[in-house]
Structure 1
Amino acid sequence: MHTGTVPDNPAQRRVEEVLAELTGSGVEVGVQVAAWRDGELVVDAWAGTADVAEGRPMGPETLVPAWSTGKGVAAALVAVLVDQGVLAYDVPVARYWPRFGVAGKERITLGQVLGHMAGLPQLPADVTPERLLDLPAMADWIAGQRPRWEPGSAFGYHAWTYGVLLAEILRRATGRTCDQLLREELAGPLGIGDELLFHVPEHLASRVATCYDGGWAARLERMPPGAPFFDCVPRGVLPVAELGNRDDFRRTALPANGVMTARGVARLYAVLACGGELEGVRQLSAATLKETTTGWASGVDRMMGTTCTMGGGFVIGDSGAKPVRPAGGFGHSGSGGSTAFADPAHRFSFALVKNRMTVPGLDARLASEIRTALGIASD
């Protein structure tokens, strides 16, 4: 259940044991877990099934829809482009995209979009998957909207619009699409060009796991009808298994989401956990990394109603009842229980992706199990 490159250590053995138990009992369908410590891959485990009907097993290279875990990948990509001088956090979006600079949005910066502070979380109430996935038209619709609050004064989760806005900004600023940029500037140089994606190209379609519902859809449906959440995630585009299995959804490069392997995204966060450098190759300057992973805003999220701290596209620390990220850690989680994060204090990174969409909990459990086995304090 692990490659020859992974040491036979207590953390690896413990994760293998837990995954075998969970997939064997049917609590999970397919799961991948990976972790790095001090520049070395210390856990690389997988178990279960990628597609039940086909009898296709979950393997280390199976691509798993990890939903908003992709927002952290997008944040890392932007950081690389900022480091290169191609983008700047404090530049108004309208400089890249003139049509955007109307209706009170003239001074909204790229950093405010990344930090969910732009005041533009809303989608049309009657939005359909087809309309959401028409990214040029959706971007044009957002460009005509007035911010819900004074940009920069508060933050609220831009669940889908984060991806629509970033895709358009990146295209206009660079002349390349977000998926091209990801492959050419970040995933490719890290050797994970086929393991870290904003969309699924045709030649990789057979490697993608099928999503299954494990109670996640019911949890979303139980939210109060008037909850602000439904302004940023209308019922027609809820992040549930049915949407994740659509071919058109998988083919659309929308950097609010990601399709990935645990091994791939854990490698990305290992770079970030080690100050921007891994295996002797520097991907990002320490200064830019520090800037984007410093808390830019803290308080109550206007759309989710939860308390958190946001950086430049990363959630900093964890204020949840069952914390996944340690204090000083940063990353992003996705619908249905996937997550990835870096803990720079211990030069540690962790990733979990899975195809049965459940209420989160396994992520915190396994991150804690691995940290304990490695002797890392859970401060």
Structure 2
Amino acid sequence: MSVERKLQFALEKAVERGERGVQIAAYLKGEPILSGAIGTMDDAGTPVTGTSLFPIFSVTKGLAAMAVHIQAERGLLDYDEPVATYWPEFGSNSKGEITVQEVLVHQAGVPQMPPGTTPERLADWDWCVAGLAALEPLFPRGQSAYASISYGWLLGEVVRRTDSVDRTFADFIEQEIFEPLGIEDYYLGMQGNNHQRVAQLYTAGGLRPQPSEYRSLAMPESITPGPIWNNPVFYDAVVPGAGGIANADSVAKFFGLLANGGELNGTRLLSEERVMSFVEPRPRSEEYDEVLGQTPLVGVGGFWLGGNTPPAEPIIGTNPNILASNGSGGSIAWADPDTGLSVAICHNRMFRINPPLPPDEHPFTELGDLVRDIAG
């Protein structure tokens, strides 16, 4: 069977298991090897194409982590320094010793959003960072406490404070990552443009069945990923921990940087040594996270790792060197530095990821198998 027929079969299997619209893209050693789309974007039945855009939620966290790594590569920040070294206001209310590294791996103890968070306030960077700086920790330093939404501002403000030319975080991402890598359809704040290209979100029932008393603090109901994000207010807000809008090709190209040891098509942003250091599991890696309601398999670089399921996401493979970003509802991207493979899957029907769906129920199982087969 040809690759084209295998891809069509895998996409049709995703729809058979409930998907509305799906995109996949894969690169191998920086070159595109696979792309496909199926299904519909909205209630009007608009077909999904390769240029359709999707909210990708926490897949966006890979951008926030990458920005911190770029600043570390340039000697502008030290992972082991307190956040307050670069952002003094953050040191209030017993947060003065929390390090950049602890934020990077979700062990800062401050997973919550500020009281009074609304969709409109997500668009106010200064309000968000001031509110986060004023918080008191919910957990001790070093304990896993997944920063569902706040992650991007916690890291993004450190990047902004260490930026020698004082750019907004969105401008930093555009000028230091997207432009050098030739990424054109990945947005942090759409500024009122291209809204008509964004797929409508749907849900497939309860996304996180395990109870968690802390989840509503980390992810307030007013901004919980799901159909409420069909509001264009979310498209235009710069939410670097959960608010990316992109197509699969752009996200797979971005992860190609990790898959190729920090260099992509002649542009090097990180050393190979630094990228390979990311595969080391974070301290206390077997610890249950009371915000997520699961044990997240996270590496010291802030990316999720491959491995056995659970806790690893099954479709990315069991190689422990895989670096991934998982998004609420099933959007996902990953890089395999051992083979040079990078993959992204975007979609608009959100399904349960905690605990991960078994392979025979997961809509993307055949897509993951296919790209691994192609990469060898």
TM-score using structure 2 length: 0.87
Q: Which residue of 2 aligns with 1:70?
A: 60
CA distance in 2, matches of 1:86, 1:196: 26
Query: For 2:153, what is the secondary structure of its paired residue?
Result: helix
Q: Secondary structure at the match of 1:259?
A: strand
Shift of 1:100: 1.0
- 2:235 corresponds to which of 214, 227, 250: 250
Displacement of 1:317 in angstroms is: 2.1
**TM-fit CA distance, 1:375:** 6.4
Matched, 1:40 2:25: no
For 2:321 and 2:3, the matched residues in 1 are separated by 22
Q: Aligned residue for 2:6? A: 14
1:305 matched to 2:305? The reply is no
- CA positional deviation for 1:70: 0.6
**Are residue 167 (structure 1) and residue 156 (structure 2) matched?**
yes
- Residue 88 of structure 1 deviates from its aligned partner by 2.8
Q: Distance in 2 between matches of 1:304 and 1:49?
A: 30
Name the residue aligned to 1:346.
339
Is contact 1:12–1:45 with CA below 8 Å preserved after alignment? no
User: CA-to-partner distance for each residue in 1:238-274, whole Å, 9 max, x for gaps?
Assistant: 21122x2111111111111221111111111122111
- Deviation per residue, 1:76-103 (Å, 9 max, x gap): 2322232223333223211221111122
Change (3 A) 1:87 1:56: farther
Corresponding residue for 2:322? 329
Aligned to 1:289: 275
- 1:178 deviates by 1.8
Flag structure 1 segments of 5+ consecutive residues without an equivalent.
1-8
Q: Which amino acid aligns with 2:189?
A: H
Structure 2 contact 54–199 (Cα < 8 Å) conserved: yes
The residue type equivalent to 1:184 in the other structure is: Q
Aligned-pair distance for 1:316? Answer: 1.9
Gaps (5+ residues) in structure 2? 354-361
Alignment of 1:101-140 (within 5 A): 101-123=91-113, 127-140=117-130
Matched residue, 1:144: 134
Give 1:261's aligned amino acid.
N
- State whether residues 339 and 363 of structure 1, in contact with CA within 8 Å, keep that contact through their aligned partners in structure 2: no
Which of the residues 237, 240, 257 maps onto 2:226?
240
Cα pair 1:139 1:165 within 8 Å, conserved: yes
Indicate the percent of aligned positions where both proteins have the same amino acid: 34
- Give yes or no for contact 1:79–1:289 (8 Å, CA) kept in 2: no
Determine if contact 1:324/1:364 at 8 Å carries over to the other structure.
Answer: yes
Q: TM-score, normalised by structure 1?
A: 0.86
Cα deviations by residue, 1:213-236 (Å, 9 ceiling, x for unpaired): 232xx334x543x53322312333
Instruction: Give the aligned residue type for 1:228.
Output: Y
**Counterpart amino acid of residue 23 in structure 2:** Q
Return the letter of the residue paired with 1:338: S
Q: Are 2:332 and 2:344, in contact at CA under 8 Å, matched by a contact in 1?
A: yes
Aligned-residue offset at 1:47 = 1.7
Instruction: State how many pairs are aligned.
Output: 358
Measure how far apart 1:197 and its partner are.
Answer: 2.0
